[in-house]
Structure 1
Amino acid sequence: MKNKVRGLLSTFIIFFFCITVGLAQSLDFNHNKPYWSRLSFDFQDNFRDSLALWPERVMLQIANEHIDADEPLFFKAYLTTEKQPKRYSKSAVLNVELLDDNGTLLKRQFHKIVDGMVQGQLELPKNMKSGSYAVKAYTRWSQNYGPDFVAKEKIRIGDLTNGKEITNAVFKVSIMPEGGTLLNGHENRVIIKFPLDQNLKMVQRGRILDENKQEVAHVSFYSSGLGTAIFKPMKDSTYQLELEDGTLFPIPMAETEGYLLHVNNLDENNAKIRITASDNAPKSELRLIGTSGGITYFEKKLNFHNDKILDVELSKANFPHGVFTLKLVDNLGSELADRPIWIDGARLHIDIKPVGSGADTNQKTYKIKVTDHTNTPIKSQLAVSVNRHHLETEKSLDENSVEQSSLYTFSEILDESKVSTYRKKTFLKDLDLLSSANEFGTLSKEEDMTSDIKFSFQKGLEIMGHAFDLNNTLLRNTTIQVVASNDKDVWIGEVETDGQGLLKLDDIQIEGEATLISRTKGDDVKSRLVKIVPIPMMKQKKKVLMPYVAENPKQVEEGKPTVVSEPFYIDKSEKIIELGEVEVEGKSVERKKYTPSLYGINLPPNRIKYQDFEKPKSLLQLLAELPGVIVSGVETLNPKASVLGAVGPILWVVDGFPLSQEGTGTQMGTSSQSALVEIMTLVSDRDVERIELLKGPEASIFGSRASGGVFIIYTRKGNELEYIPRKEGQLTFEGYTTALDFNEYKESLSRRKGEKINLLYWNPQLETDENGEATITIPLPSDNSGIKIEASTISLDGKIGMASIIN
């Protein structure tokens, strides 16, 4: 019997093994692809698998790149995942930030992600100075892959055309060689960058001089504060950059040995790469690698065949949308040259054409059609912006773009019609990346961004802080209920503090500014209401604020100003998080014995009479103790109160509610008088907390009905407790930014302002029909300036489409 059971068991095991092997062989992981071949699939390491399989990129379209300081900045953001890009995101929160030239955070907003998209606006801080700034959009998860996966676009605020000229000014300028190396005896491309806040009127032309003050190259500058030049440095020679006013800046010394890495990125389908080696540099066992966020998308072995120059063509179809780093490495993995490159990714075709005769001079209609590479119509959602376009501001830029890019185009130049659209945008984006290589921080071979999770997915808004009751007792290991509410929405959550009284609220889902009220179990109101104190201690490092959690809650000192950020999030890892600074004053709860005055009037102490709770006095006694008040008829059933020197009726107010009082005032020159029977019936002597007397100007807030004076009676709250400042248990919280409708915004503007703004039309949700078509009607500028139409889309399968025309 035992042998029979063993035999059946052995048969079952063999059968199960065969089925498992067959299923495994039927699965196609396509390990021959470079992306998959470099990944180590260890299913026990869920973190590494998650990072490898969920790269998340953000793409950003700015509707109005040039605005005044009092205008909102409209935008549309798309999120995609890789390796096969999809318009999808596991994140629920998009962070949108405004940065100055130094990377300092000026404003941060939170936007809710829906279907992998966000539409909204960035409200500028007050008193913004004219200049160039940057808008940054990212999710918490996308930070795991480094800055290449973050969207960053430049904008202009205010009028830059009237900038002051530089006159013997001392300011910072950066001069960087393309590929990181300046090589003797070869043509080198250098990028010149001025700080955005010093992008002044005079920075338009320059030249490179040798040590004999002879010009060896011309420098072309652009409105974005960037310039570029091509020159051939000679061994042991020094060179300087000279501006129009004669200001000189030294250029780094050239190397005698090394490699140049030049890229022509202007073609929509391919990037052309030229690698130049010095005479004595090794030319074998070299590799060209394309990476982003620690993921390798491209790798090619190089063979110079005894030549000094090697040309490589890179198909952009193999790359998703975003910023990548090209690296030249040797057989040991040492980096010899590196350069960032921006790639649009797989593209849909967006065609924008005018329709109709154009008889109406006030508006114009355009048809937009979206197709794929096979010319098949695509039903999609477009974001379309239309701005004023002044041709004179673009003319020099277009000419310089053709001139400079032709030096490394390998004898190919795009047709002139494309200069002002894709080519110009790519050219400026390329310059910006090269000038910001150090800011972006190209990854070295030791950095593998997919090796560990530093930032988790964010499913909602968050805040972190210490919890106290209104007795200032730290609430350790306590369950707390939190309600966030405003006029439109309510959110309720529950959280438990840790042993240090620290709580972290997450997944807060509310739009707009809300009030946070927190409660817990307790014997009285003070024990039940909870005061959340956001993490108050900060460490500043490299212009970035790092939250610091005090291990000892006693370190939170009372009465001292502290810096806090509200709202903010803290991940479990130790990382730097940029936060906005707000100065608040930390203070203990002010203990008050009585209900505060409802009217904020500072009365003399002798005109406020408090009840003695242990030995209560009658209402008549309290009134009689007020100066200038005479109580008559105490021994009768109809006592009266008079105010000496007052004229007109007396008003009675109980707990903020004025009472209808019968009777009239006395004649001129005599005291005002009021019967007390109804007041004595309404208010019990023991219920009186205090009585205040208002006379003359103080009583004017009640009008003519109180010309004879006002008696304000405050009653007790039914117990012996002191007044409880309930606002101490409230916290103002910034929820998701509410999207502003552009048409409603434009209608709210004055006629003069409406004619001045550059943004004429903005629709972030334009739907195409089954034929891939949609039409828009645009109001034409009254000043007869041109218009620039830009459109973008990302289909559900991650295909990107962008177009721009000038008309």
Structure 2
Amino acid sequence: MLMATCMFFNIVSFSQTTTSIGAYTEVPEKVYLQLTSKEYTSGQTIWFKALVTDSRDHTPSYLSGVLYVDLIDPNGQIVSHKIIKLTSGIGHGFIDLPESYNGQFLIRAYTQWNRNFGKEFMFKEYITIHELIKQKEENPFGQLRRVQNEEGKVFLSGEIELKETVKTNPGKIKVKLDWGARKDSIWVKRNKGNTYFFKHEIPKELNWISLALDTDERFNYSKTVVLKDDVLDLQFFPESGKMVHGLYSKVGYKAVGFDGKGRKIQGDVFDNKGRKITSFKSNSLGMGIFHLKADSNLRFHVKINSEKTSTAKTLFPLPKAVQKGSVLSIEKTKDKIRLRVISNDLKDSVSVKISCRAVDYYLIEGMLVQGSLISKIPIENLPNGILVFTLMDKKQQPIAERLFYNESGKDELQVELITNKSNYNRREKTKLDIQALEEGKKPSIANMSIKVINKNQWREGIDGFIRSHFLLESELRGQIENPGQYFDKENPGRHGDMDALLLTQGWRNYKYPPKRQGNRFFWPQPRLTVRGVVAPLSSKNKIQKEIDLTLATFGKETSLYSQRTDSLGNFQFLLDDTYGEQIRILLHANNGKKRRKKLSIKINDFFPIEVNYKHNPFAGKMDEMTTTLLKEEQRRKRTDMVFDSLYGVTQLDEVVVEDVRLNPERRELYEKYGKPDVIISGDSLRHKEKKWSYGLYSILLFNYGSEVIIERFPDGFMLAQIPGGPSLVMVDGRLIQKYEYNYVPHMPPGVVENLELIKFAKSFKESYLQVFPETHPMELPAAGHIISINTKGKVGLYSSDKPKPGTLDTTIEVFSPIKEFYTPKYDKPIPVNEQKPDLRSLIHWKPSLNTDEKGKTSESFYNGDVLGDYVIIIEAISKEGYIGYQTKTFSVVE
């Protein structure tokens, strides 16, 4: 075959010499969180480092100075919201986990700027939290069976047995069904005693189904049933999208089991005349490649001969070959990338554009010679990462596309790590010397993190890391199974695995070029920002001129800012760095009392992105590593309890439920709605009142944030919520109506006798309908809470006051508090009563460490008491966007 004459045009054109918004309107940021683990136990802390970069070249971003991090529970509720300060695209933080958390949780992170691009460039990672102290409870779902009647209809039948007394069990209960593609619910009536029997028709093709009890309390129990465990889904992906008659094609394939995970298979390809064409064997993730010559007069199919699919479907048809078309084939040959265009349709010149992350690098043009064009490009001339080869005809119309991963190594940061020893005693100090080098051993100024963990909790070559995220996971839609496998240099088949991945999962899921989504424009946040608008109270009035504003913030220190609106009344304040949960702000229009009365001030309040939690009924399965993790954590907690009982003092939380004397009226309320979980006395509220406090909600906001969340809105309205569900407000035993919620935030604490928090109140749906009668029955919340305010003399709401026109008294969120990772030091003798056994599995966590101009830095830490192997994990990024990763193991011995 002849080598066609080609012309190469280097078309890299973007530059970063300017940081104006206009240059970035179509450039999103990439967000990456390095977590200390992907499996935790309740009560632990999630430590994380955040990196935000330019999506084109991975240079740390200077566009955003604020990052939002959310922890989302299995019910799709945001249970923790963090605001992280970014300095040159780098930040870090933590999330403390309560003892009650259990299940699969979602961590997501995004910048305000990235909201312009939808959810494409949001960081998302599912983690598993195991509840150690959970009491053993029998699942009420008995044996569940798939039954098919004579008519061919399929039913799911089973029993539910509740262990509580008959009096507390309702006559019927609601069961929610979920099988991925659809959700349903059924009402199940009680038979005898505490047993409920059901039989419900389900689609024939279901492979699995999840059931969950829906009660007024909460989702207490759930169970997933596998109906067909031998089901296999096998799909084929010809290179360039189609098999073309008479042309050899590379065909990628992917086999997936009932749980959505890859299944290792092997099989043969046959034509419709029974002739065997070729054989194949997949990798461990069910992916691979085979070759064949397409023929539109034949039909091809695959026969699976793996043992695990012996009772399931074993024959799978390949796509039909088309008569006319073109094939773009890409492969690596030593130090070059070889591209080949073969066509039985095109006769003239063609061109192939090569791009990476929406940046065009080369345009190859040439004439087809005998229907073929071949060209080679040195690997070193192209960047690391996913390349897009686009075949175009002479009119520059795209015909075919191919993704290919280029591993040139030139954009990599080499991290050299040296320890002072390879074996250490218990509690001995480990010293690290580190150097970051670019290509050609050139020292690099870089920022890095250091994580040291017990090796039996390291999923080497499986979990993703900094390199797999920036070069693969962040550029393809959907979840990539075992992303670390494609970058594990100990995996000899990683290049073939990557090619199979891009042929199958990648060809329709590439995120570039990015596109703006939605009609609203989100400005980047270089700092904490207050944006808003000043508007006339009446639509008849108009703002005649720019208005001077004064903003006061009340954090640890009071700060004043001045600003002038534009002609439309818009304003923006850039604030100094402030840390905490929320702070009070006061906005004031400086245009005279008479004019001020005619104005209203609204701020552009932050609202979180809609939650998209994907329920995985097969998540959280226990393997050997998980079992080891739980055993070691249980051992550590037992040891801590024994030590504390001997030498320590257990401190009580500040907010506790106190014993109260119940009068008949209060007793009746408790029977109807439930007993309070938390009682805050009026004296406690008044004791915490400050001179600048502006009512009941301000005291709750700054002192009881763990129990009550105060949500604010642009017009100054505030809403109190107990975490974990919607909350209603009751004053003196009466559920207040919607219009009365305006009066609650500014209630003076002097009239409050106490405040009670009733979590997961009884008959919440009925209570909710009393306040919001227009709610559709299908949209009623399954569970919720009640905030009960009891006033002195039952004076109620009538002593409250509302904000004055021309001012806005509200709160804003600020940067989340910073907490340092605690590492014990054993350089001095320790008193006997402080010699607690050191059973840590996370030995050291340093989220941010900078190298000097020689690329060097150092770090040290003390080991614990657990013998065994440990691994040091370093992730690094340079100001040029080079990415580095290094690991090293050491041992703690007797």
TM-score (norm 2): 0.50
SS at structure 2 position matched to 1:289: strand
Question: What aligned pairs does 1:627-706 form with structure 2 within 5 A after superposition?
Answer: none
- One-letter code of the match for 1:62? Q
Q: 1:391 to 1:345 in 2, by over 3 A?
A: same
Question: What aligned pairs does 1:127-206 form with structure 2 within 5 A after superposition?
Answer: 130=103, 135-138=108-111, 140=113, 150=121, 152=123, 154=125, 156-158=127-129, 166-168=226-228, 175=235, 177=237, 181=241, 183=243, 186-191=249-254, 198=259, 204-206=263-265
Q: 1:535 to 1:81 in 2, by over 3 A?
A: closer
CA contact (8 A) 2:527 2:575 kept: yes
Q: 1:108 to 1:587 in 2, by over 3 A?
A: same
* Equivalent position of 1:409 in the other structure: none
* Equivalent position of 1:346 in the other structure: 411
CA contact (8 A) 2:426 2:865 kept: no
* Equivalent position of 2:289 in the other structure: 230
Q: 1:723 to 1:510 in 2, by over 3 A?
A: same
Instruction: State the alpha-carbon separation in 2 of the partners of residues 284 and 102 from structure 1.
Output: 58
SS at structure 1 position matched to 2:282: strand
CA contact (8 A) 2:330 2:337 kept: yes
* Equivalent position of 1:68 in the other structure: 40
Q: 1:417 to 1:368 in 2, by over 3 A?
A: farther
Q: 1:740 to 1:207 in 2, by over 3 A?
A: farther
Instruction: State the alpha-carbon separation in 1 of the partners of residues 710 and 75 from structure 2.
Output: 20
Return the match for 2:505 from 424, 435, 438. Answer: 435
CA contact (8 A) 1:385 1:763 kept: yes
* Larger helix proportion of the pair: 1
Instruction: State the alpha-carbon separation in 2 of the partners of residues 323 and 100 from structure 1.
Output: 33
Instruction: State the alpha-carbon separation in 2 of the partners of residues 802 and 392 from structure 1.
Output: 15
Return the match for 2:524 from 457, 460, 469. Answer: 457
Residue 600 (1) aligns with residue 753 (2): yes
- One-letter code of the match for 1:587? Y
TM-score (norm 1): 0.54
- One-letter code of the match for 1:354? T
- Offset from partner CA, 1:225-282 (integer Å, 9 cap, x none): xx41223466423447789365559676254355555666899xx674554646x354
Q: 1:117 to 1:587 in 2, by over 3 A?
A: same
Q: 1:380 to 1:47 in 2, by over 3 A?
A: closer
Return the match for 2:51 from 77, 86, 89. Answer: 77
Question: What aligned pairs does 1:715-754 form with structure 2 within 5 A after superposition?
Answer: 723-724=800-801, 731-743=810-822
Q: 1:473 to 1:742 in 2, by over 3 A?
A: farther
Deviation of 1:168 after TM superposition, in Å, equals 0.9
CA contact (8 A) 2:803 2:809 kept: yes
Q: 1:92 to 1:316 in 2, by over 3 A?
A: farther
Deviation of 1:528 after TM superposition, in Å, equals 11
- One-letter code of the match for 1:803? Q
* Equivalent position of 2:739 in the other structure: 587
CA contact (8 A) 1:88 1:796 kept: no
Return the match for 1:253 from 282, 296, 319. Answer: 319
SS at structure 2 position matched to 1:369: strand
SS at structure 2 position matched to 1:458: coil
Q: 1:69 to 1:427 in 2, by over 3 A?
A: farther
Residue 331 (1) aligns with residue 394 (2): yes
- One-letter code of the match for 1:381? N
Question: What aligned pairs does 1:539-550 form with structure 2 within 5 A after superposition?
Answer: none
Return the match for 1:375 from 432, 436, 441. Answer: 441
Q: Which runs of 5+ in 1 are unaligned?
A: 1-31, 402-415, 545-563, 570-579, 603-700, 702-711, 716-720
- Offset from partner CA, 1:373-431 (integer Å, 9 cap, x none): 23243454322223343499658999xx9xxxxxxxxxxxxxx9962499969967994
Instruction: State the alpha-carbon separation in 1 of the partners of residues 869 and 238 from structure 2.
Output: 35
Instruction: State the alpha-carbon separation in 2 of the partners of residues 502 and 259 from structure 1.
Output: 55
CA RMSD in angstroms, aligned pairs only: 6.5
* Equivalent position of 2:878 in the other structure: 795
Instruction: State the alpha-carbon separation in 1 of the partners of residues 867 and 499 from structure 2.
Output: 29
Which stretch of structure 1 is more off in the superposition, 474-483 or 61-70? 474-483
- One-letter code of the match for 1:724? D
CA contact (8 A) 2:28 2:114 kept: yes
CA contact (8 A) 1:467 1:474 kept: no
Deviation of 1:783 after TM superposition, in Å, equals 6.1
* Equivalent position of 1:706 in the other structure: none
CA contact (8 A) 1:92 1:459 kept: yes
Question: What aligned pairs does 1:11-30 form with structure 2 within 5 A after superposition?
Answer: none
Instruction: State the alpha-carbon separation in 1 of the partners of residues 333 and 107 from structure 2.
Output: 23
- One-letter code of the match for 1:734? E
- One-letter code of the match for 1:117? I
Deviation of 1:114 after TM superposition, in Å, equals 1.3
SS at structure 2 position matched to 1:792: strand
* Equivalent position of 2:202 in the other structure: none
SS at structure 2 position matched to 1:764: strand
Instruction: State the alpha-carbon separation in 2 of the partners of residues 79 and 135 from structure 1.
Output: 16
CA contact (8 A) 1:69 1:127 kept: no
* Equivalent position of 2:578 in the other structure: 510
* Equivalent position of 1:763 in the other structure: 846
SS at structure 2 position matched to 1:587: helix
Instruction: State the alpha-carbon separation in 2 of the partners of residues 159 and 283 from structure 1.
Output: 63
Instruction: State the alpha-carbon separation in 1 of the partners of residues 381 and 77 from structure 2.
Output: 35
Q: 1:775 to 1:293 in 2, by over 3 A?
A: closer
* Equivalent position of 2:352 in the other structure: 288
Deviation of 1:463 after TM superposition, in Å, equals 6.3
Instruction: State the alpha-carbon separation in 1 of the partners of residues 836 and 494 from structure 2.
Output: 32
SS at structure 1 position matched to 2:489: helix
Deviation of 1:74 after TM superposition, in Å, equals 0.8
* Equivalent position of 2:195 in the other structure: none
Instruction: State the alpha-carbon separation in 1 of the partners of residues 818 and 498 from structure 2.
Output: 30
Deviation of 1:178 after TM superposition, in Å, equals 7.0
Q: 1:798 to 1:536 in 2, by over 3 A?
A: closer
* Equivalent position of 1:485 in the other structure: 554
SS at structure 1 position matched to 2:423: coil
Instruction: State the alpha-carbon separation in 2 of the partners of residues 138 and 266 from structure 1.
Output: 41
- One-letter code of the match for 1:335? P
Instruction: State the alpha-carbon separation in 2 of the partners of residues 111 and 726 from structure 1.
Output: 31
Instruction: State the alpha-carbon separation in 2 of the partners of residues 262 and 153 from structure 1.
Output: 33
CA contact (8 A) 1:381 1:793 kept: yes
Q: Which runs of 5+ in 2 are unaligned?
A: 1-8, 132-222, 469-485, 615-708, 715-722, 729-737, 756-789, 827-833
Which stretch of structure 1 is more off in the superposition, 304-313 or 377-386? 304-313
CA contact (8 A) 2:404 2:502 kept: no
Deviation of 1:188 after TM superposition, in Å, equals 1.4
* Equivalent position of 1:547 in the other structure: none
Instruction: State the alpha-carbon separation in 2 of the partners of residues 595 and 752 from structure 1.
Output: 48
